[in-house]
Amino acid sequence: MNKGKIKWGMLGGGQGAFIGIAHRIAAYMGERYELVGGAFDVDYDKGLAFAKELELDTKRVYTDVAALIEGENKLPEAERIEVVSIVTPNFLHYPMAKALLKGGFHVICEKPMTMTAAEAKELNEFVEQTGKHFCLTHTYTGYPMVRQMKTMIANGEIGDIQRVDAQYYQGWINPFIHESEKRKEVWRLDPAKSGISCCIGDIGLHAFNLVEYTTGLQVDHLLSDLNYLYDDNSLDVDGTVLIRMGKAKGVIRSSQIATGEENNLTIQIYGKEGGLKWCQENPTELTLLKEGQPIQILKPGNPYNAPWTMDSTKMAPGHPEGIFDAMGNIYKGMAKAIREEQPLDGEYPTVQEGVRGMQFIEKVVQSNRDGNVWIKI
């Protein structure tokens, strides 16, 4: 087994790509990874120029995923890339991940994992067959207080779950959606690149993931009502999904046309004995509600938190941590898996979360298409 820093590559994420910057900061944060190469841009010359800016070995810059796999596998095992991050548009996730797994690489992938649930199930089989580790970057699961929320619910501190309410509101698509020509410029509104859903597939999926992650329950039935705004727009930009999780019921609301909203992801879980609330725009606070008691605000870095919440916190109490830190915790969990250090359950999202996510997207679209009916997942 290799030792030392994990040799890491990227597909996409080149010059000007915010998500690429986020992944690089996250990987560097724990000092466990070393970026050594990749295929950073569909335009090889741009990718090469970007690699030079990062002072990478230009011999490790490739034209595409096939060239990366071939080139790296020619190197001695101790020198070659061990894990590759896929930070490209949705339609490339599945073929790239499949090729990398077959080529002998661990994979870190942006969500949604694939374009269809069938592809997701097939990718799950490839992970099992190859024995490689697969991480899906549902970044919000890396926040310390989300992990504290998960721990408190698992410990029964709010009792049996009765009600779930999750929302993710953005307004970023408003400047584009109202003009036909502008809509054509947005790849997330192109089914060939984005898949069968825009809003639910992009941000509603995060809310769904957090519901299942924090509660430990699975959504078993859903009913959806999606909004497309215009007849010539084939992908949803807003939606409401009623959910059932055994006896617990709730709602997932997501919108990309919530004018003025930035990244308003909020999750509220209510149990028989209490409630918990967390908001991504104020991520260092977890609100605990108890009948007849004052509202409590829990914050990271304090000894009343669970051990893995503390392990997920990098700064002393009172120093805010954000999205880069959350993704850094996911990279940290994946590093433990690669180095066979036995990460805790939930330290990084796996291929199974990817399968659940694609099933959710497809059932939401189907429920809306069939006349807003209840469907079993």
Domain ranges, ordered by start, for the chain: 6-140, 143-311+351-369
Out of 17-21, 125-129, 153-157, 172-176, pick the least confident: 17-21
State yes or no: pLDDT of 3 exceeds 90. Answer: no
What mean pLDDT do residues 225-243 have? 97
- Separation of alpha carbons 142 and 40, rounded Å: 25
Q: Write the single-letter amino acid at 340.
A: E
Q: What is the pLDDT of residue 167?
A: 98
Query: What string of DSSP letters covers 173-209?
Result: THHHHTSHHHHTT-GGG-HHHH-S-SHIIIIIHHHHH
Return the CATH number of 6-140, one of 3.40.50.300, 3.30.428.10, 3.40.50.720, 1.10.10.10. Answer: 3.40.50.720
At a CB cut-off of 8 Å and minimum separation 6, what does 365 contact? 196, 197, 200, 224, 226, 236
187 φψ region: left (φ > 0), alpha (ψ -120 to 50), beta (else): alpha
Percent of the chain with pLDDT over 70: 99
> Angle CA(116)–CA(120)–CA(123) in degrees, nearest 5?
140
Mean pLDDT score of the chain: 96
Q: Write the single-letter amino acid at 230.
A: Y
Return the CATH number of 143-311+351-369, one of 3.30.360.10, 3.90.950.10, 3.40.50.980, 3.20.20.70. Answer: 3.30.360.10
* Token output for 141: 């699961």
pLDDT in tens, 310-339: 999 998 999 888 999 999 999 999 999 999
Structure confidence at residue 15 as a pLDDT band (50, 70, 90): confident
Percent of the chain with pLDDT over 90: 94
What mean pLDDT do residues 120-129 have? 96
346 φψ region: left (φ > 0), alpha (ψ -120 to 50), beta (else): left
What mean pLDDT do residues 89-111 have? 96
pLDDT in tens, 154-176: 999 999 999 999 999 999 999 99
Q: What is the CA radius of gyration of the chain?
A: 21
Q: What is the pLDDT of residue 370?
A: 98
Provide the sign of the torsion angle of the four alpha carbons 135, 169, 185, 23, taken in this order. Answer: negative
* Burial class (CB within 10 angstroms; exposed 0-12, middle 13-18, buried 19+) of 176: middle
Q: What is the pLDDT of residue 1?
A: 56
What mean pLDDT do residues 277-305 have? 97
State yes or no: pLDDT of 36 exceeds 90. Answer: yes
What mean pLDDT do residues 189-205 have? 95
At a CB cut-off of 8 Å and minimum separation 6, what does 270 contact? 158, 161, 162, 163, 164, 165, 289
* Euclidean distance between the first and the last CA atom of the chain, given in angstroms as a whole number: 40
How far, rounded to the nearest angstrom, does the alpha carbon of residue 59 sit from its chain's CA centroid?
31
Would the pTM count as exceeding 0.85?
yes
* Token output for 76: 């001695």
State yes or no: pLDDT of 153 exceeds 90. Answer: yes
DSSP annotation of 91 reads G
Structure confidence at residue 147 as a pLDDT band (50, 70, 90): very high
- Separation of alpha carbons 371 and 303, rounded Å: 50
- Separation of alpha carbons 65 and 84, rounded Å: 10
Backbone angles phi, psi at 6, to 5 degrees: -80, 125
Q: What is the pLDDT of residue 18?
A: 83
State yes or no: pLDDT of 249 exceeds 80. Answer: yes
Q: Write the single-letter amino acid at 172.
A: W
Q: Which of 141, 105, 83, 202 is nearest to 348 (CA)?
A: 141
Element containing residue 21 per DSSP (H, E): helix 18-29
Q: b vs e for 184-199, b when ≥16 Cβ sit within 10 Å of the residue's Cβ? A: eebebbbeeebbbbbb
Three-state DSSP at 11 gives strand
